[in-house]
Amino acid sequence: MRIPAIVMALALGLTACGGGGDGLEIGMSVSTLNNPYFVQLRDGAQAQADKLGATLTVTDAQNDASQQVNQVQNFTSQNMKAIILNPVDSDAAAPAVTAAERVDVPVIAVDRGVNGVEVAQTVASDNVAGGKLAAQELARQMGEQGQAVVLQGTPGTSASRDRGRGFEEGIKAFPNIQVVARQPADFDRAKGLDVMTNLLQSHPDVTGVFAENDEMALGAIRALGSRAGKEVKVVGFDGTPHGLTAVKDGTLAATIAQQPKLLGQRAVEAAVKVARGETVEKSVAVPVKVATQQNVAEFETS
Amino acid sequence: MILRAEGLTKSFPGVRALDGVDLSLRPGEVHVLLGENGAGKSTLIKILSGAYRPDDGRVLMDGRPVEIRDAGDARRLGISTIYQEFNLVPELSVAENLSLGRPPRRFGLIDSAAMMRRGGELLDRVGVRVDPRTPVRRLGIARMQMVEIAKALALDARVLIMDEPTAVLTTGEVGKLFEIVRRLRDDGVAIVFITHHLEEIAEIGDRVTVLRDGRSVAEVPAGTSQDELVRLMVGRPIDQQFPRRPAELGEPLLSVRGLTRTGAFDDISFEVRAGEVVGLAGLVGAGRTEVARAVFGADRYDAGEVFVRGRRLPPADVHAAMEAGLGLVPEDRKGQGLVLGADIGENLGLVTLRDATRAGFVDLKGQRAAAARVAGQLGIRMTGLDQEVRTLSGGNQQKVVIGKWLVAEAGVLILDEPTRGVDVAAKVEIYQLVNALTDSGHAVLMISSDLPEVLGMSDRILVMARGRLVGELPAAEATQDGVMALAVTDVAGSRAE
Amino acid sequence: MPSKRSAAWLAENGAVAALVVLVVALSLLSSDFLSLTNLLNVGVQAAVTAILAFGSTFVIVTGGIDLSVGSVAALSAITLAWTATEGGLPWPAAVVLSLATGVACGLVNAALIAYGKLPPFIATLAMLGIARGLALVISQGSPIAMPEAVSHLGDTVGRFLPIPVLVMLVMGVVAAVILNRTYPGRAMYAIGGNEEAARLSGIKVSRIKLVTYALSGAFAAVAGVVLASRLASAQPQAAAGYELDAIAAVVIGGASLSGGKGRALGTLVGALILAVLRNGLNLLSVSAFWQQVVIGVVIALAVLVDTLRRRGTN
């Protein structure tokens, strides 16, 4: 008796959700929910959808570009009024966008752009600019001299490419800082720990670390132990809750805070607008900010 | 002389398998290779077919030395080998098997019409009537063998090596095989023929090369007497082929009542008493193996009961059967009896593994000691208990399978074709073992397609035909003809179907 | 006696030889490689893979495969962290629950394989998804801090000896004892060698498979807890893809994917080869793209050396 009752309640709840608000249906395909950053992006989008009275259906592409194409196609057949796409891969997302636009469903790209085709709007933070900011902040905290290493993200991903490029451009301005090693740790905390441990063997005098995301930065901090934040400055990227906590504790020197919730929020705003036939700007840059111990409080609330 | 092997020598770790073996083949002869298991026959034919390379010695074809580095070389030289384990792909059709590796092609695609046509021609040459489109898995063993021969013909074999081709055939099938062999011989093919059935030698052979302990000890005409052949093979005469020594009968140890599985066997009832050997005769496919497996709990049954020492066994429970003291030596030694990659000690201890566990740990020392004792008792020829079972000869492998039940002290043994592929001397050793078992009050149920063996070694003979027990004879009164007459009984009419 | 001993030793020696060659080469190429600290680092970095691989050794010896170990490791660690923090359980209870989670996943695998007659590849592929999904569901996709007491597993005893290395050695000994000395262990070899012969010798094949996959799950849970302790944080995406490293380690260590062969010591050597390689590539600053090429080549070479040596002795 109890189980059917629960099922009924759930079913009612679900239909209630579906019928609520003005019922504007929006589909959102997230590259992966296997990463707190994208979970926050989804949370921001969900909150904004609730506020505007739209119905948001979120799918997880599990970092598989072909799966993402299928998901977008499914959205079009479910008669979604707009689609928010967080591409797994900027190049591979083009067919999905083409498929949606063929049936006049507008697409908003979020966090990463789509190469080769036009979308209604791209909401993204600028990874290249972020990489540059990271270089400047790391250099400042290192006293503009010494040896630094870079922990790279998964080889071949656009985030790794752009952040790395921005960092290299930025660090050129500081001739007394030498980048002595660049090694991949695949955006993974455990690998960040192992790779940093190994790099410390060959480069014991390192005083600066740039990790292309916070997860690897947290792994590196684990490898550095008590030296993190004192002799060795670590700069991360993303501004995840754990990253911000580490900044507050002083172990992470800084993180380039993207604002995933804000990205999600802006994407939904744009999606609702285009679904109603309003025109929107081609691109919206959500600012990245350097979060340090001094200003970390303002990020945690967002 | 089409092929001559001179001074072939081959060693494996701990064993000298061949020690200067000579062999000469004339075109158009059937040359019998005779020897006990382990005498070196397998090694010799593996060298000729390119599976092994000799350490020393050479092979000449048409008087020129040749190197046979792999199966491809052998094929190019016109040497084909038919092993006991067939090299056929069960899921493919007969025609596809016949042109495996070099199918006829047209425009880069397989020309299946040509393939069927060629398959049909080859099958005609070996005199088998079968649709070339039939998947091989649907053929019986005899017809699979014919397909193997046809495959050799497809390769234009000048030398055809046949490893115990008659071991798995019934009498009628053997006759057919011999016809084909004779036809090939008359076409000028040199045939190397391995068999353990001495009576076949005079019937099919022209000359005989006898191997013993890795040496070629004699080359004699096929008309040589069986006693003389045995003497050459074993190095001493064997007095008795079937040394059955009846023992005193005791309580019934195994009782089977009304055992039935639809489609396999029907209403089977019999008893085996302590000290008794009951032979189960019949044609291949009569349901004997199915009954044995069901009694042992390896397969399920629909109705009936099995009792060991008066206690009823739960159906389809090998473990319970084993606990009750039942042991099965299965028909397919390599597929079901042995862990080929494991050593002798490990295999002998398989059944007792559970019981030898104390406080979670296996008593490896005790297991080892028991294995050593049984290996000694059975006279297993080995370099040590840690020799891989894969490297043993057939007879010694069979002793290991029987041995694991001796280690377990099973009171009732079911032996399914216990001497198939086993040489004369090892056969006699297995018979002696059966005698020793019954002397000490064990019961033995023996399935065998070898009629002289059933007659010679049983105290009582049960005959099965088409899934039913059709007769029971005391061994003393049984004749081959009598058993055969029962085995071919057509019981279809009496079945309520 | 000597033939099997030496054959087995040689079989292992194939992997040992590969490891020695690798260590010598790296010592020559990088002056930083051959220091006690670095070697202990390698040990720590091998630990998680090695523990997973010990569990996989049981499965591979029976002729099966377990693709779910990485996901099960993550799920077990998440279970521990979640029950200890959100659930408010005392940490020892959370540890037990975490091991139970691993065992449960293994039992489900085994039930699908032994009773459902699913091929191990498919059954454990399903579990790979299920366990990873459950880890994400429980954690809501975010890392959970590990309880302080358990996090000490990632520290060192005294100044030098890292606890993950100790755990790895203990699990290795446990695996070796189970494989060599216990009934289920010996039965695993028999099943992998010839399942039908094992069944007809009275070995309860289904029951042994339950034990086998449960052990694999339990070892995966231990690996997950060690990994999370090193990071002081249980992550739902942890150990993704590690199942392939584990399988590679077992095969490099001389096991056969067709079953019946494999030893705990060989597996340890296999895991060390992978860890030494990754460590060395970092020390030598090999570029990100080439690293994957080199790792692939070394795995193939290590197994090739082993098979060639064994063919030579036959």
Mark whether B289 and B230 lie in a shared domain: no
pTM over 0.95: no
Mark whether B226 and B261 lie in a shared domain: no
> CA–CA distance from B39 to each of A174, B16, B21, B422, B426 (Å)?
83, 10, 11, 12, 12
> CA–CA distance from B380 to each of A59, A83, B25, B262 (Å)?
67, 76, 33, 41
> CA–CA distance from B243 to each of B233, B272, B311, B427, B436 (Å)?
19, 20, 33, 11, 11
Does residue B28 have a pLDDT over 80? yes
Q: Which residue has the higher pLDDT, C292 or C244?
A: C244
Determine the average pLDDT of the residues in B311-335.
92
Does residue B14 have a pLDDT over 80? no
CB contact under 8 A, C189 and B342: yes
- The pLDDT value given to residue B261: 94
CB contact under 8 A, B298 and C199: yes
The two domains A22-124+261-285 and A127-257 share their CATH topology (first three levels equal): yes
Q: Which CATH architecture has domain C32-307?
A: Orthogonal Bundle (1.10)
Mark whether B219 and B256 lie in a shared domain: no
Nearest to C201 among B351, B357, B364 (CB): B351
pLDDT band at B58, cuts 50/70/90?
Answer: very high
Mark whether B143 and B269 lie in a shared domain: no
Closest C-alpha to B270, from B67, B486, B447: B447
For chain B, the average pLDDT equals: 88
Determine the average pLDDT of the residues in C97-121.
97
CB contact under 8 A, B330 and C1: no
Sign, CA torsion B149/B152/B157/B163: negative
Token representation of residue B285: 């496919």
Query: Would residue B403 count as lying in a domain?
Result: yes
Domain ranges of chain C: 32-307
Query: Would residue B239 count as lying in a domain?
Result: no
Q: Which of B199, B234, B269 is the last residue of a domain?
A: B234
Chain A residues near any Cβ of chain C (below 8 Å): 33-36, 38-39, 152, 155-156, 181-184, 188-190, 193-195, 197-199, 201-202, 218-219, 222, 241-242
Does residue A6 have a pLDDT over 60? no
C233 in contact with A, Cβ within 8 Å:
yes
CATH code assigned at B170 = 3.40.50.300
Which chain A residues are within 8 Å of C288, Cβ to Cβ?
A: 152, 155, 182-184
Whether ipTM > 0.85 holds is: no
For chain C, the average pLDDT equals: 90
- The pLDDT value given to residue B490: 57
Mark whether B284 and B168 lie in a shared domain: no
In the block, tokens 């004779």 appear at B182
Mark whether B333 and B475 lie in a shared domain: yes
Enclosing domain of residue B415: 252-494
CB contact under 8 A, A193 and C237: no
Q: Which of B234, B263, B297 is the last residue of a domain?
A: B234
C156 in contact with A, Cβ within 8 Å:
no
**Which of C9, C179, C200 to substitute to test the interface with B, most B CBs within 10 Å?**
C200
Mark whether B153 and B212 lie in a shared domain: yes
Q: Give the pLDDT confidence of B147-193 residue by residue, as tens digits.
A: 888 888 888 889 999 988 887 777 778 888 899 899 889 989 999 99
Q: Which residue has the higher pLDDT, B13 or C271?
A: C271
CA distance C129 to C133: 6
Q: Give the pLDDT confidence of A181-238 residue by residue, as tens digits.
A: 999 999 999 999 999 999 999 999 999 999 999 999 999 999 999 999 999 999 999 8
Q: Give the pLDDT confidence of C21-44 residue by residue, as tens digits.
A: 899 999 999 888 998 889 998 999
Which chain C residues are within 8 Å of A38, Cβ to Cβ?
A: 141
- The pLDDT value given to residue A2: 45
Instruction: Tally the domains of chain B.
Output: 2
Instruction: Name the range with the highest mean pLDDT among A2-16, A93-107, A268-282, C216-230.
Output: C216-230
Determine the average pLDDT of the residues in C221-250.
92
Query: Would residue B462 count as lying in a domain?
Result: yes
- Phi, psi angles (nearest 5°) of residue B385: -65, -20
Q: Give the pLDDT confidence of A124-157 residue by residue, as tens digits.
A: 888 899 999 999 999 999 999 999 999 999 888 7
CA distance B472 to B487: 11
What superfamily would CATH give domain A127-257?
Answer: Response regulator (3.40.50.2300)
Mark whether B189 and B323 lie in a shared domain: no
Q: Give the pLDDT confidence of B256-284 residue by residue, as tens digits.
A: 999 999 988 999 999 999 999 999 998 77
Nearest to C190 among B337, B342, B388 (CB): B342
Domain ranges of chain A: 22-124+261-285, 127-257
Nearest to C199 among B318, B362, B383 (CB): B318
Asked whether B and A share 3 or more beta-carbon pairs under 8 angstroms, the answer is no
Q: Give the pLDDT confidence of A28-68 residue by residue, as tens digits.
A: 999 988 777 898 899 999 999 999 999 999 999 888 888 88
Nearest-neighbour CA in chain C from B343: distance (Å): 8
Q: Which of B202, B234, B266 is the last residue of a domain?
A: B234
Mark whether B291 and B212 lie in a shared domain: no
CATH pick for A22-124+261-285 out of 3.40.50.2300, 3.30.360.10, 3.50.50.60, 3.40.50.300: 3.40.50.2300
Q: Give the pLDDT confidence of B462-484 residue by residue, as tens digits.
A: 999 888 999 999 988 888 878 87
- The pLDDT value given to residue C208: 96
Nearest-neighbour CA in chain A from C99: distance (Å): 21
The partner residues of C52 in beta bridges, in order of sequence, read none
